[in-house]
Amino acid sequence: MSRRRSVNTTLCLVSILPALFATLALAWQDEGEAAFSQTVTHLEAQFAGAAVVAQVEVIDIHRDVDSALSAPGVTAISGYVYSAAPSRVWKGAVAEQITFRLGLEYCDRKLEIGERYLIFAGRDNYGRLQLLSCEAAVAESDAETLLAILSDLTARDQPSSQRAKFWRNCPGGCWVHRRPLTPGQLGHTT
């Protein structure tokens, strides 16, 4: 009797487990899709609110000294001013080198020289580029998904004529995710 009950219990579990795993997989998939959807929504909001969206390499760092709070022998730092070389720009007009500020009132993390970041910069009252949170500077090592989404979002929004203009501005070839980008991938043929 007990052997028969054990076999029935095992058969019951074996028949229920695939359904349970399928249900859990769908729940995890829904959570993953929801998280991805939130990431896209957040990225779209950051993109819309930024004056400049670019992938940059930090080449120099300067302290932003608050002279009103400084005293003899004591220097009050209110943030850092970064010089960077943009390698890719999704939004805004930038020069070969840009300067932006990240104040300690917005982020207590200091960016590193030689590191690459995806930045979402706004403009302050004087027109200077400024980051308004730690989330506005994403280290390249953490930005792979954001870069892919951003590339997809901007490619979808560009009419064919803009894609053609983009391709003409990349005479040496454009690269996405360490792979060469072809005109056909932009919806433009030469």
Q: What is the CATH number of domain 52-141?
A: 2.40.50.120
Q: Which of 86, 23, 90 has the alpha carbon at shortest distance from 50?
A: 90
Q: Of the given ranges (123-127, 150-154, 166-170), which has the lowest mean pLDDT? A: 166-170
Tell me the pLDDT tens digit for each residue of 6-27. Answer: 545 444 434 454 554 455 444 5
**Prediction pTM value:** 0.62
- 41 alpha-carbon distance from chain centroid: 12
| Rounded Cα–Cα distance for residues 101 and 79 (Å) | 7
Which range, of 105-109, 138-142, 162-166, averages the lowest pLDDT?
Answer: 162-166
Say if CB 118 and CB 144 are below 8 A apart: no
CA distances from 144 to 28, 118, 139 (A): 22, 10, 9
Closest CA to 83 of 108, 107, 114: 114
Angle between helix 2-49 and 144-157 (nearest 10): 60
**Model confidence pLDDT, tens digit, residues 39-98:** 667 778 888 889 999 999 999 999 999 989 889 999 999 999 999 999 999 899 889 999
pLDDT at 29 over 90: no
What CA–CA distance (Å, rounded) separates 117 from 115?
A: 7
Contact 86, 146 (CB under 8 A): no
Per-residue pLDDT tens digits for 105-121: 999 999 999 999 999 99
Closest CA to 46 of 109, 146, 127, 120: 120
3-state SS, residue 172: coil
Residue 5, pLDDT > 90, answer: no
Q: What is the pLDDT of residue 20?
A: 44
